[in-house]
């Protein structure tokens, strides 16, 4: 397992000459996340976020300011997707991070050379950071699993396998989109509780799910499991993920094989990969399992992962209706809670996914499943917040919501915070609900 390495790039007193970087809510110099961007008329290529700007990695490779592993990483990242760069592993990623951090630091002698390589984020369109070959969504938020289970199965909310195995299902990679992509209200087959037969039409119980996305750096050979002690070596970094859900379709279709059309119409991710290197100061011990919970089988247990497999991360969800935006009313925060509500670690997710020899590949995306807390105000979906529509949310305009309406904009946010480190974040993960195409 990669031990979290804290070096000069994380120093809280390191500042940047880039305007707007110091004190930036998401992208101070201590972050330097990876993404793919383009300007109008230009091809997509890799970049690094710093404040309100993007370092053009293709331009940086031509500057003569890189060498060795840093040069190899930047060259591989100059393509329309970061797969080749992610496949190089942690060494080149770390080398590029250290060199870029030095070039952007206050007092850097190369400032005049680097400045022309900065692209204003306002002029850039963001793309998916990597080509996603496969997408798997897990279910590691135990409070969400219990809350949803109590709605669908009141007598047996948490199935007996949950505390033994990280549950997941194979999602649809073709419908993953970066922040800002509109959500076209899906249509589907549903059956009302008082109806004798199902019907087809626009879904009525449209929901969101607050999740983390895990980007795979290196895969494994078919038939070769990934040991739990090595699982973190295969992870490039994290993103925010909204697994939009049609709850009425889900209720009708999910038995006996689980999620299908209720989940595969759109998944939104924040476009920047916050690397595992950037997260080093925010690693923390996984919360101890409640007394009486089973010990995971050996292939899912690693002491080092238990010592630093969790994250000091606060997650938030905001809702803005069309009427709120017209009246310039700030978005309503629906929930806030820590990522420590994850029952399984990222390494356990990866190790379990490959435990049967399943081949995983660079650019694969894993969803954590909805992360909810046990208290009101910490739930990661409207299904939980409104108790399946029984307790509507009142918006500042007087409007009410049980589920999402056309025109609603849903926004996820996440910030890593811990004593002695500069806070970093993911950037925006948002989408507006558009009417169904009938």
Give kind and range of the element (H or E) at residue 48: strand 45-50
Which has the minimum average pLDDT: 15-24, 150-159, 284-293?
A: 150-159
pLDDT, tens digit (0-9, with 9 covering 90-100), for 403-413: 999 999 999 99
pLDDT at residue 2 is higher than 60: no
Query: How sure is the predictor about 138, in pLDDT bands with cuts at 50, 70 and 90?
Result: confident
pLDDT, tens digit (0-9, with 9 covering 90-100), for 175-213: 999 999 999 999 999 998 889 999 999 999 999 999 999
Give the rounded distance of the alpha carbon of 189 from its chain centre.
Answer: 29
- Mean pLDDT along residues 88-113: 97
User: What percent of the chain has a predicted confidence (pLDDT) above 90?
Assistant: 87
Helices (DSSP H) in 164-259: which residue ranges? 247-253
Query: How sure is the predictor about 3, in pLDDT bands with cuts at 50, 70 and 90?
Result: low
Give the rounded distance of the alpha carbon of 319 from its chain centre.
Answer: 18
The three-state secondary structure class of 53 is strand
Pairing between β-strand 409-416 and β-strand 429-434 as defined by DSSP bridges: antiparallel
User: What percent of the chain has a predicted confidence (pLDDT) above 70?
Assistant: 99
pLDDT at residue 167 is higher than 70: yes
- Mean pLDDT along residues 349-363: 97
The Cα–Cα gap between 171 and 265 comes to: 10
Closest CA to 178 of 268, 242, 240: 268
Q: Quick one: 273 exposed, middle or buried, by C-beta within 10 A (0-12, 13-18, 19+)?
A: buried
**Residues ≥6 apart with Cβ < 8 Å to 174:** none
- Mean pLDDT along residues 277-284: 97
The Cα–Cα gap between 375 and 384 comes to: 11
- Mean pLDDT along residues 207-222: 97
DSSP string for residues in 327-377: TTPPPEEEEEEEGGGBSS-HHHHHHHHTTT-----TT-EEE------SSTT
- Mean pLDDT along residues 42-63: 98
**Residues ≥6 apart with Cβ < 8 Å to 436:** 184, 185, 186, 187, 201, 202, 203
pLDDT at residue 126 is higher than 70: yes
Between helix 90-104 and helix 68-76 the angle, nearest 10°, is 100
Return the bridge partners of 273, or none: 34
Dihedral sign for Cα atoms in the order 9, 11, 12, 16: negative
pLDDT at residue 134 is higher than 90: yes
Prediction pTM value: 0.95
Which has the minimum average pLDDT: 116-120, 178-182, 329-333, 337-341?
A: 337-341
pLDDT at 144: 84
The Cα–Cα gap between 31 and 100 comes to: 11
Concerning whether 144 is annotated as a catalytic residue, the answer is yes
DSSP string for residues in 374-402: SSTT--SSHHHHTTTTTSPEEPTTS-EES
pLDDT at 146: 83
Give the rounded distance of the alpha carbon of 436 from its chain centre.
Answer: 26
48 close to 57: Cβ distance less than 8 angstroms: yes
DSSP string for residues in 89-104: -HHHHHHHHHHHHHHH
Average per-residue pLDDT for the chain: 95
From the list 10, 24, 144, 234, the catalytic residue is 144
216 close to 365: Cβ distance less than 8 angstroms: yes
- Mean pLDDT along residues 339-350: 93
32 close to 16: Cβ distance less than 8 angstroms: no
pLDDT at 310: 95
Half-sphere exposure of 3 (CA within 13 A, CB side): 5
Pairing between β-strand 135-138 and β-strand 365-367 as defined by DSSP bridges: parallel
Give kind and range of the element (H or E) at residue 113: helix 111-114
Which domains does the chain show, CATH number per domain? 8-127 (2.30.30.230), 135-434 (3.90.850.10)
pLDDT at residue 1 is higher than 60: no
Closest CA to 49 of 73, 66, 31, 61: 31
The Cα–Cα gap between 33 and 129 comes to: 10
pLDDT at 155: 75
CA Rg value for the chain: 22
pLDDT at 35: 98
pLDDT at 340: 83
The three-state secondary structure class of 304 is helix
Q: Between these two residues, 320 and 156, which has the higher pLDDT value? A: 320
Say which DSSP state 291 is in: T
pLDDT at 147: 81
pLDDT at 153: 77
The three-state secondary structure class of 297 is coil
């Amino acid at each position: 397992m990669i031990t979290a390495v804290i070096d000069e790039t994380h120093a809280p007193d390191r500042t940047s000459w880039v305007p707007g970087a110091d004190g930036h809510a998401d992208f101070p110099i201590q972050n330097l996340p990876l993404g793919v961007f383009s300007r109008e008329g230009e091809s997509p290529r890799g970049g690094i976020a710093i404040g309100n700007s993007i370092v053009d990695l293709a331009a940086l490779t031509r500057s003569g300011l890189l060498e060795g592993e840093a040069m190899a990483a930047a060259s591989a990242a100059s393509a329309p997707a970061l797969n080749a760069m992610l496949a190089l592993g942690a060494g080149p990623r770390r080398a590029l991070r250290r060199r870029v951090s030095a070039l952007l630091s206050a007092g850097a002698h190369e400032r005049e050379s680097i400045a022309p390589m900065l692209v204003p984020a306002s002029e850039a369109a963001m793309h998916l950071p990597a080509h996603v070959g496969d997408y798997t969504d897990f279910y590691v938020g135990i409070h969400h699993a219990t809350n949803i289970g109590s709605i669908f199965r009141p007598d047996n909310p948490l199935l007996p396998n949950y505390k033994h195995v990280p549950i997941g299902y194979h999602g649809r990679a073709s419908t993953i989109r970066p922040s800002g992509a509109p959500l076209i209200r899906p249509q589907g087959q549903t059956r009302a509780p008082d109806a004798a037969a199902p019907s087809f039409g626009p879904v009525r119980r449209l929901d969101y799910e607050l999740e983390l996305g895990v980007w795979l750096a290196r895969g494994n050979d078919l038939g070769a499991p990934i040991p739990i002690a090595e699982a973190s070596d295969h992870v490039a970094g994290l993103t925010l993920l909204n697994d939009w859900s049609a709850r009425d379709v889900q209720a009708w279709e999910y038995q006996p094989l689980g999620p299908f059309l209720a989940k595969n119409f759109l998944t939104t991710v924040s476009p920047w990969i916050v690397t595992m290197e950037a997260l080093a100061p925010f690693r923390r011990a996984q919360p101890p399992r409640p007394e009486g919970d089973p010990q995971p089988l050996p292939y899912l247990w690693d002491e080092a992962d238990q010592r630093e497999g969790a994250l000091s991360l606060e997650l938030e969800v905001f809702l803005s209706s069309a009427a709120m935006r017209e009246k310039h009313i700030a978005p309503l925060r629906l929930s806030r809670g820590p990522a420590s509500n994850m029952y399984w670690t990222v390494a356990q997710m990866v190790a379990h996914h490959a435990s049967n020899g399943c081949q995983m590949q660079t650019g694969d995306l894993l969803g954590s499943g909805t992360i909810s807390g046990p208290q009101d105000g910490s739930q990661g979906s409207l299904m939980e917040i409104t108790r399946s529509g029984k307790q509507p949310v009142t918006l500042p305009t007087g409007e009410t919501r049980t589920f999402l309406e056309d025109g609603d904009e849903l926004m996820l946010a996440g910030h890593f915070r811990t004593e002695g480190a500069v806070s970093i974040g993911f950037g925006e993960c948002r989408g507006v609900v558009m009417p169904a195409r009938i």
